[in-house]
Amino acid sequence: MSAFSISINSDCSTDANFRAWITVITNIMATAWVQTSDTGQINLLTVTHPLSIGNVQGYQIWRMNDSLQSTTPCYLKLEYGASTSSSATYPGIWVSVGTGTDGAGNLTGSNGIRIGLSSSAGNTGGTIKGSIDINRVCMYVFYGNVNTQMLICVERTHNTSGSDTSTGIMCFLNSYVSNTTSFSCIPSVVTTSQAAWNFAMPASLTSNAWGTNIYTFPIRTWGQGETSPSNQLFVHYPSDITALNLIPITTWEGTTRTFLPVGSPYAALGYGTTVAQQAFAIRYE
C-alpha cells in the first residue's frame, strides 16, 4: 500500500492537458490495480479533449488484485470527459463498480449505478492525494479547490476484525457538482445509490475531543441494511483536526491507520444532518 500526493491540473482545454490528468490517475491506479484487457479503452496517446459539456471521451476498467478477486471480483470503470457544469474545459469523471465485465467495457453486476463527478472550475492547479492498495483505492482528485476536487473511494466490506469480506464493495464519492453519494455493490443483490454517506454525529456537539483523544465518526453505506464501516474515510468536526496534518486513527478492531484530514468543511456529507459542518479524512498509507 502507498500514499500519493501528485500535482494535477484540472483542465481539459487542450488534448495535452486532458491527457495529462488522466495519465496521472492511470499511473496511480496501475501501482496496485490491474487494467483489464477490455476492448475500446481510452488511448492516452490519441484521445482528444472534450468539446462539449458532459462529453465522455473514453474509459478505463480496473480490477482489484487481491485474493478475493477470483471469488468476489471487483471492477472499477472510470470514464473521462468534460464536466456537466458550465464549461467543457472543466474535468468530469464517471464512476461505476461491478462484479464483472463483458470484455468490451461494459460492467456486469453494477445495478446500473453510474455516478458522475464534475468540476465547476478549471486550471486551478492542485494535487491528487490519497492511497491505494491491491484491494482499495481512495483518491481525492484535483484537491485544493472545493470547486474542482472529486473524491473516489472504493473498498471491500469488512468483518468485525477489519478484514475484507466477500459480501460486497463499498463506494463513496463526492464532488462540488454531484455533492455526496455512496453505494454498495453486492453480488446478485439489487442496490441503489444514496445521496449521502451513512454516518451519525451528535447534533449537540461542535467538537469531539475528550481527554487526550479526538474521536472521529465511521462512515458506511447501505446495502443489505447498513454496511460495515469504511477503512478509508472518517468524518470529524472541522475544528477538531487541522487539515493536512497526518493523524493516526484507531478503528473498532484495534488497528491504527494513518489518515490525511482534507479540510474543506461541508454542510451535508451525511443525509439530512443537523450538524452545521463536517469534514473528512482520507486514508493515507
What residues does 11 pair with on adjacent strands? Answer: none
Site string for other proteins, 251-270 (x = CB under 8 A): -xx----------------x
Q: In this chain, which of 90, 217, 259, 284 binds other proteins, going by CB under 8 A?
A: 217
Residue 192 binds other proteins, judged by CB under 8 A = yes
Is residue 112 exposed (0-12), middle (13-18) or buried (19+ Cβ within 10 Å)? exposed
Residue 212 binds other proteins, judged by CB under 8 A = no
Number of residues that bind other proteins (CB under 8 A): 37
Q: What is the DSSP letter of 240?
A: G
Please say which residue, 47 or 200, places its beta carbon nearer to other proteins: 200
d(CA 81, CA 63): 21
CB of 200 to other proteins, least distance (A): 5
CB of 209 to other proteins, least distance (A): 9
CB 238 within 8 Å of CB 279:
yes
Site string for other proteins, 138-177 (x = CB under 8 A): ----------------------x-----------------
Q: In this chain, which of 17, 111, 273, 278 binds other proteins, going by CB under 8 A?
A: 273
Tally of CB atoms within 10 A around 233: 27
Q: In this chain, which of 26, 215, 265, 285 binds other proteins, going by CB under 8 A?
A: 215
d(CA 53, CA 213): 46
Across the chain, which distance is largest between two alpha carbons, in Å?
A: 57
d(CA 215, CA 212): 10
Residue 234 binds other proteins, judged by CB under 8 A = no
CB of 76 to other proteins, least distance (A): 23
Q: Please, where are the H alpha helices in 11-146?
A: 15-29
C-alpha cell, 43 = 488511448
Please say which residue, 238 or 270, places its beta carbon nearer to other proteins: 270
Residue 208 binds other proteins, judged by CB under 8 A = yes
Residue 279 binds other proteins, judged by CB under 8 A = no
CB of 275 to other proteins, least distance (A): 7
Residue 77 binds other proteins, judged by CB under 8 A = no
Please say which residue, 64 or 201, places its beta carbon nearer to other proteins: 201
Tally of CB atoms within 10 A around 13: 16
CB 249 within 8 Å of CB 228:
no
Please say which residue, 24 or 170, places its beta carbon nearer to other proteins: 170
User: Judging by DSSP bridges, how do beta strands 233-236 and 256-261 pair with one another?
Assistant: unpaired
Q: What are phi and psi of 22, to 5 degrees?
A: -70, -35
Sheet with 115-118: strands ordered across = 34-35, 56-63, 75-82, 91-98, 115-118
Residue 85 binds other proteins, judged by CB under 8 A = no
Q: In this chain, which of 51, 104, 195, 246 binds other proteins, going by CB under 8 A?
A: 195
Q: In this chain, which of 7, 226, 243, 244 binds other proteins, going by CB under 8 A?
A: 226
Angle at 127 between CA 33 and CA 28, to 5 degrees: 15
Binding site for other proteins (CB under 8 A): 160, 189-192, 194-196, 198-204, 208, 210-211, 213, 215-218, 220, 222-226, 252-253, 270-275
